[in-house]
Amino acid sequence: MSSGLKTFREDSARAHRFEWFGSGREFLGAQLLAIAAARRSIRLETYIFTDSSVGRQFRDTLTEAAGRGVKVELLVDGFGSGRLPRLMFAPLVAAGGEQKWFNPPRLGRWALRDHRKGLLIDESLAFVGGCNISDEYNGDGVTEGWRDGGISIEGPVVGHLVSEFEQQWKRAGLQRWKMIRGRYRKTIEAAAEVLALFIKPGFGKNPLRTALREDLKSAKDIALTSAYFLPTPRLRAQLAWAVKNGSRVRLLLAGKSDVRLMWLASQSLYYSLVRRGVELFEYQPQVLHAKVMVLDDIVYIGSANLDPRSLHINFEIMLRVKDAALAAKARAQLEMDLQQSRAVTLKQVIGVHSWWVRLKCRIAYWILVRLDPWIARGQLKRFSWHPAETPSRARETPSS
């Protein structure tokens, strides 16, 4: 494992210890090493798992762990990994591991997805970030592979992540999910420096949006890296307000995207953002897939994008970490990424698009901001809510 920016360990006396991984290759490699070293339990949750070189590495390493007596639980989203052969995990199951498909696509419930990406080792070490289990993420993000990464963390928050995984494991395959309205999304304070933000399908308050809005009120150096960027009007207004009040706001967005519809929809927001003083950049070498936000000495990292699907429709996990050293590493990563990016100017925004392109951007925006949530809202009403899930005993702040 290389030293420097790509890997970083905070060995302070605080409750948590962190390690920063600045590329998908570093992040996936560290996960494989942790799986190989596991002694008691492995819990892996992912949106996309492909029959690829990386996918087979993970499957085989998990299978070896199960064979030596480690408890292995693998949770894979049924839609994100819908093309994966169902026999892919037969060796793992034969070795004693367990695997479940989360919400296999079916009429009336396909919109609600498990978009989380997390690995939990021996209930003491966690990996959180944006990388799926696929070859696209196995690169440096510049010369090859999508731009992504993540962190590992040791400390009290790992126990809460384990509890949340076990709840999701129980939900997988159920015909109806049992969740109490107003308790299905929560913020857990694991220690003074770490909050775990658990996002589940539903409309109304959101733990990520709530925490981010509060931090934006006082932050002076704001840097957001978002693969899919369609924030609410209120959040966009707050970014503009921060600029007006003397804060520096930088957005790093995708110059190349695996979801062209999202790329078009995001472009419909460029004029308003740049006109209000937000510094906007598009990452050029590879597809941008990272989800990292740095506000002074606070880092947000995990699986959620700033778009309607992550904020209202998907199951997501984000960590809010207040740690100056980790924030410095995240900001240094941003500076490296900006060297590979194109600044978007107001002149370019005004002059680059024809009326036809602008129309396509507005249609894409309507589909992702209006139509997709409308469909998801209807599916939620039909099958998701049941009274009965026992509220967690962890220190939590419910969101209604």
- Whole-Å CA distances, 311 to 9, 202, 266, 299: 30, 8, 16, 18
Q: Is residue 388 part of a domain?
A: no
Strand 291-295 relative to strand 98-102, pairing? unpaired
Whether 135 maps to a domain, the answer reads yes
Classify the C-alpha dihedral 149-153-156-158 as positive or negative: positive
Q: What is the pLDDT of residues 72-86, one digit of tens each?
A: 999 999 999 999 998
Kindly give the parts of the chain with pLDDT less than 50: 1-13, 180, 182-184, 385-400
Q: Does some domain include residue 156?
A: yes
Find where tokens 């793992």 sit. 92
Range of the domain at 74: 7-182
Give pLDDT tens digits for 212-266: 999 999 999 999 999 999 999 999 999 999 999 999 999 999 999 999 999 999 9
Residue 395 lies in a domain: no
Question: Is 295 among the domain residues?
Answer: yes
Give yes or no: residues 100 and 214 share one domain: no
Q: CATH code at 336?
A: 3.30.870.10
Cα 249 versus chain centre, distance: 21
pTM: 0.90
Examine the domain organization and report whether 234 and 261 are in the same domain. yes
- Please state, in angstroms and rounded to a whole number, the distance separating the CA atoms of residues 353 and 386: 48
Asked whether residue 107 falls in the same domain as residue 234, the answer is: no
Q: Are residues 18 and 80 in the same domain?
A: yes
Domains identified in the chain, total number? 2
Nearest-angstrom CA–CA distance, 223 and 341: 14
Task: Report if residue 115 sits inside a domain.
Answer: yes
Note whether residue 192 is domain-resident. no
165 with 288, same domain? no
Three-state DSSP state, 136:
helix
Give the 3-state secondary structure of 257-275.
CCCHHHHHHHHCCHHHHHH
Contacts of 232 (CB under 8 A, 6+ apart): 209, 311
CA 384, CA 10: separation in Å to the nearest integer? Answer: 40
